[in-house]
Structure 1
């Protein structure tokens, strides 16, 4: 699997502020990988459907081993496959578990872990959550609540998420946490902006406040067991700049919604879902294409490979 140049890791803020430069350390080898959060990390355990582009077989079933999500790329780097994506001819790998659920808020990740039976020392927990918080708060603003108060609530939710994952590390877990992708840049935001004034700006501001709270809390605890990846920066670079040279940076590449229904057969004519092709950033609604997932996954792998957990 190709790896992005190490230079891109400069945008990833490492939370281990106490780590000494030049320290020699053995690479952390997790006994299990648990992926918590929302749709960005979800794999349907019954169908293998993902909120991206799905590879459909000739019989209509999904091959979730193709068009990987970012968390699958991280797990594969450790030789782990998520049990929720077990091919028909393979035995389940119980070391990898997708606990993420559609619609989940930041406050829900504790229940995801608890319902699974908890974690143990040596687990690596992948965390990407907060987009649904942003959209919930946005809808409350549209319904008349104070945008100033909602921005503060977004920041508090991000800070609370940082506190939660810090508590997990004190019980033996290691954490890779991604911040929230700017929801104001998504095709879903563009659709809402047709009827709601300043929708993109409001969503961007709420995203920023959530991320600010999370980032500040992670920095405050200075925990060597938390690696922080600015996923939003990577996506915004793709949207705003020519570094990745995506052909289409704002529209959805899928012609259907939700993204779990999107396959290689339901794409715009100019969209090749091959992860190595840079054509569309977004699949459907607010979700990412295989190419953008591939970028995030490679950056995440590079970060944790070098991280002194």
Structure 2
């Protein structure tokens, strides 16, 4: 799978700019020409779904090739890029954790492994303490998956209704933090949560329990989270571009062939190759880096990251930041 989508100043940008200028005039705004947003940096907040290790590994399927003659394995941190690598690469930026060619290191992680929504405050504080946000910062945010797992595992000690309310409260809490980033000067690309009720983990829980449809319950938790997130963020495309990862994963599940997927139910990685150590040489029989939607029980494979990255780029290119 190729590394990044090439950045282009396409005709749609010109058309979009004209449309935005016309809208501003219609609303009584200024008539100055719309300028495409050129970020100076990309800063990433969230959990392991938006993170590389110090050695460039990802919580997805890493790219490893094997020399047919020597059997030597070669790892490439640029292969199978995660969604924020694609977003940063659209502007020619790389992360220090994956810079094999001494490129333009203008992308930075604040994301941390196993982060929850409540951890985002500390990530923001760390950024503020390190110089804060600049006018040309593009900020990528996706977090909440670990919250959903925590909530699901609290059932049946807690009721489904109570847990869905809690999921909504966490979505609202994330929205407050995203709005805070805007107040601090960042332009935000915000991804909501993929539908984790479609994951191998959810399907296994459904098969192992007959009390309720556990997969549908997990989907309901994600939906409560995402709806609350979407209704509480600042609804203004000048500051926030929302990536609807949930609907894209649902479409990929319904029409896998449209995305060159052959399996949308099972994990591609062997259970002995836990993330972030799974790679293209440690997959179940018949799997490839691009054949499966899911890398492991609930983390997305490269194709899922590709789609979310593609949508993130579209938001970054077309929102009037």
Same fold (TM over 0.5): yes
* Partner Cα distance (1:57, 1:245) in 2: 21
Match of 1:238 among 252, 260, 268: 252
Give the C-alpha shift of residue 94 in structure 1: 4.2
After TM superposition, list the pairs within 5 Å mapping 1:80-99 onto structure 2. 80-87=93-100, 90-91=101-102, 93-99=104-110
Instruction: Give the conservation status (yes or no) of the 8 Å contact 1:48–1:62.
Output: no
After alignment, is 153-162 or 61-70 more displaced?
Answer: 61-70
Residues 148-190 of structure 1, C-alpha deviations (whole Å, 9 max, x = no match) = 1111111111111112111211221100000001111111222
After TM superposition, list the pairs within 5 Å mapping 1:134-283 onto structure 2. 134-142=148-156, 144-197=157-210, 198-218=213-233, 221-222=235-236, 224-242=238-256, 243-256=258-271, 257-273=273-289, 277=290, 279-283=291-295
* Partner Cα distance (1:239, 1:193) in 2: 17
Give the C-alpha shift of residue 22 in structure 1: 5.4
Change (3 A) 1:97 1:283: same
Count of aligned pairs between the two proteins: 286
* Partner Cα distance (2:62, 2:190) in 1: 25
TM-score (norm 1): 0.85
Instruction: Give the conservation status (yes or no) of the 8 Å contact 1:75–1:96.
Output: yes
- Give secondary structure in 2 for the equivalent of 1:96: strand
Residues 58-81 of structure 1, C-alpha deviations (whole Å, 9 max, x = no match) = 666742111100110000001100
* Partner Cα distance (1:114, 1:92) in 2: 28
Instruction: Give the conservation status (yes or no) of the 8 Å contact 1:259–1:285.
Output: no
Alignment-derived partner of residue 54 in structure 1: 62
* Partner Cα distance (1:177, 1:254) in 2: 28
Alignment-derived partner of residue 11 in structure 1: none
* Partner Cα distance (2:315, 2:237) in 1: 15
List gaps (5 residues or longer) in structure 1. Answer: 4-18
Change (3 A) 1:42 1:141: same
Instruction: Give the conservation status (yes or no) of the 8 Å contact 2:120–2:177.
Output: no
- Give secondary structure in 1 for the equivalent of 2:299: coil
Say whether 1:103 aligns with 2:103: no
Give the C-alpha shift of residue 92 in structure 1: 6.9
Match of 1:130 among 141, 144, 148: 144
Residues 207-254 of structure 1, C-alpha deviations (whole Å, 9 max, x = no match) = 000001001112x64362011010111111000125325211111111
Match of 1:74 among 80, 87, 90: 87
- Give secondary structure in 1 for the equivalent of 2:304: helix
The alignment yields a C-alpha RMSD, in angstroms, of 2.3
Higher RCO, Cα 8 Å, sep 6+: 1
After alignment, is 209-218 or 288-297 more displaced?
Answer: 288-297
Q: Please identify the structure whose Cα radius of gyration is greater.
A: 2
After TM superposition, list the pairs within 5 Å mapping 1:294-309 onto structure 2. 294-309=306-321
* Partner Cα distance (2:120, 2:243) in 1: 18
Instruction: Give the conservation status (yes or no) of the 8 Å contact 2:57–2:276.
Output: yes
* Partner Cα distance (2:165, 2:45) in 1: 24
